[in-house]
């Protein structure tokens, strides 16, 4: 049995807890500081009741409610809270997995009283964070996720054999995972309206199950690449270019394995001084090659010797975890889309079909 825990209006609820003045007020969280030139990242339930929703241009939201409260998104704050909730949930001792920054999946096996367990979990979340969660219970993750959306906020829905048809018949097709976009619109145009219609036409859809929460990072403790230069070099632009090359390689492998890393390590072989080895752990995990490169440069600035003669170098990523957080801000979403597009092109036409211009410096 799987339970899917979906935090209610997560970003907006956190902001209302931090600032009690916002409690009970229609509120939106925006991706940019200019409240009229952004999009709605999240809306409180008071705002949702007015017809305001995530993804809506903020100017449209303010046209609906001129007195709307506005807060700029703070990703670090939401991720910190998410991690604390994850730690709390681990205390129940069941296999636990992130679905996103505000959604968690727990395999409770054949627990004899799943409704009682869920009630305890909801109580603990509220007691510790003063925010609510809606929970779905079903035989697999897809049905459990669907169930979590049915009785929001702070609700519980159990889908079993007895109510399976009734619940799916009463639930719009677009509530199912993956059906909110173009795919759902195509099926709606073909006359499918409910999740029951989806089940009848695609009977295997709700049987999907991702497995038993395999611990992917255990298979890869770290990912790194190194290179020995033809001769020792002191040119900082040349060294930086090679760090960029190695960072690109590390980032690509992380993304292939759907992993992110919090810790970056830099190794330099300096013939006159010996090896330099340093690492830094960052608050937010990453697999973007450019971000890994910037973090590696930060480590290098800690060197006492500012222009060392370097013969070999390496970049390694560790403290790995599955990539579970979805990008929150519109700029991050654009960056992720760009990285995915580049990976796709390089996969189809060969490595380095597209590469950073800086890399050219290593070929001279």
The residues annotated as belonging to the active site are 103
The more confident residue out of 222 and 240 is 240
Spell out a b/e string for 154-163, using b for 16 or more CB atoms within 10 Å of the CB, else e: ebbbbbeeee
123-141 pLDDT, tens digit per residue, is 999 999 999 999 999 998 8
Question: What's the mean pLDDT in 330-346?
Answer: 78
For residue 316, give the 3-state DSSP assignment: strand
Residue pair 177/142 in contact (Cβ under 8 Å)? The answer is: yes
What local confidence, expressed as pLDDT, does residue 216 receive?
41
The more confident residue out of 189 and 116 is 116
What local confidence, expressed as pLDDT, does residue 363 receive?
66
Sorting pLDDT into bands at 50, 70 and 90, what band is 210? very low
Delineate the domains of the chain, giving CATH numbers in brackets. 8-76 (3.40.1170.60), 94-206 (3.30.70.270), 222-363 (3.30.1490.100)
Question: What's the mean pLDDT in 304-316?
Answer: 84
Question: What's the mean pLDDT in 310-315?
Answer: 89
Joined together, the tokens standing for residue 211 give 């497995």
Question: What's the mean pLDDT in 157-166?
Answer: 94
Question: What's the mean pLDDT in 225-233?
Answer: 84
Cα torsion 253, 259, 263, 269 to 10°: value is: -10
What local confidence, expressed as pLDDT, does residue 328 receive?
64
What local confidence, expressed as pLDDT, does residue 264 receive?
93
What local confidence, expressed as pLDDT, does residue 329 receive?
67
169-208 pLDDT, tens digit per residue, is 999 988 887 777 677 788 888 888 999 988 888 767 777 5
Which of 53-57, 151-155, 298-302 has the largest mean confidence? 151-155
What local confidence, expressed as pLDDT, does residue 228 receive?
80
Residue pair 64/50 in contact (Cβ under 8 Å)? The answer is: yes
pTM over the 0.75 mark: no
Cα torsion 49, 67, 8, 284 to 10°: value is: 150
What local confidence, expressed as pLDDT, does residue 113 receive?
95
Sorting pLDDT into bands at 50, 70 and 90, what band is 213? very low
Number of Cβ within 10 Å of residue 59's Cβ equals 12
Q: Considering the chain, what is the average pLDDT of its residues? A: 85
What local confidence, expressed as pLDDT, does residue 166 receive?
94
Which of 74-83, 206-215, 242-251, 303-312 has the largest mean confidence? 242-251
Q: What percent of the chain has pLDDT over 90?
A: 45
What local confidence, expressed as pLDDT, does residue 214 receive?
43
Joined together, the tokens standing for residue 190 give 């073909």
HEC-encoded secondary structure of 129-167? HCCCEEEEEECCHHHHHHHHCCCCCCCEEECCCCCHHHH
The more confident residue out of 305 and 321 is 321
234-270 pLDDT, tens digit per residue, is 899 999 999 999 999 899 888 888 889 999 999 888 8
């Amino acid at each position: 049995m799987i339970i899917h825990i979906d935090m209610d209006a997560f970003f907006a609820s956190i902001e209302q807890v931090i600032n009690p003045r916002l409690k009970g007020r229609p509120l939106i969280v925006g991706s940019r500081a200019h409240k009229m030139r952004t999009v709605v990242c999240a809306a409180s339930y008071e705002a949702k009741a007015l017809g305001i929703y995530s993804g809506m241009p903020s100017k449209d939201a303010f046209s609906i409610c001129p007195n709307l409260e506005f807060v700029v998104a703070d990703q670090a704050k939401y991720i910190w809270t998410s991690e604390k909730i994850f730690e709390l949930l681990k205390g129940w001792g069941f296999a636990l997995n992130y679905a996103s920054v505000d959604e968690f999946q727990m395999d409770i096996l054949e627990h004899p009283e799943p409704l009682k367990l869920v009630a305890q979990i909801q109580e603990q979340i509220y007691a510790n964070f003063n925010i609510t969660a809606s929970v779905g219970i079903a035989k697999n993750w897809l049905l459990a996720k669907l169930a979590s959306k049915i009785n929001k906020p702070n609700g519980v829905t159990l889908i079993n054999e007895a109510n399976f048809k009734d619940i799916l018949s009463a639930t719009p097709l677009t509530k199912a995972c993956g059906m909110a976009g173009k795919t759902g619109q195509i099926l709606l145009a073909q006359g499918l309206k409910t999740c029951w219609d989806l089940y009848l036409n695609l009977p295997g859809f709700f049987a999907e199950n991702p497995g038993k929460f395999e611990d992917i990072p255990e298979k890869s403790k770290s990912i790194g690449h190194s290179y020995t230069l033809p001769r020792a070099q002191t040119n900082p632009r040349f060294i930086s270019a090679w760090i960029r090359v190695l960072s690109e390689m590390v980032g690509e492998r992380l993304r292939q394995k759907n992993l992110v890393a919090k810790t970056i390590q830099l190794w330099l072989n300096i013939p006159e001084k010996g090896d330099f080895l340093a690492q830094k752990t960052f608050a937010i995990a990453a697999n973007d090659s450019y971000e890994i490169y910037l973090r590696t440069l930060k480590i290098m600035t800690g060197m006492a010797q500012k222009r060392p003669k370097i013969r070999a170098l390496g970049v390694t990523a560790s403290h790995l975890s599955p990539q579970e957080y979805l990008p929150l801000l519109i700029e991050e979403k654009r960056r992720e889309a760009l990285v995915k597009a580049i990976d796709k092109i390089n996969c189809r036409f060969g490595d380095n079909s597209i590469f950073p211009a800086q890399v050219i410096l290593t070929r001279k």
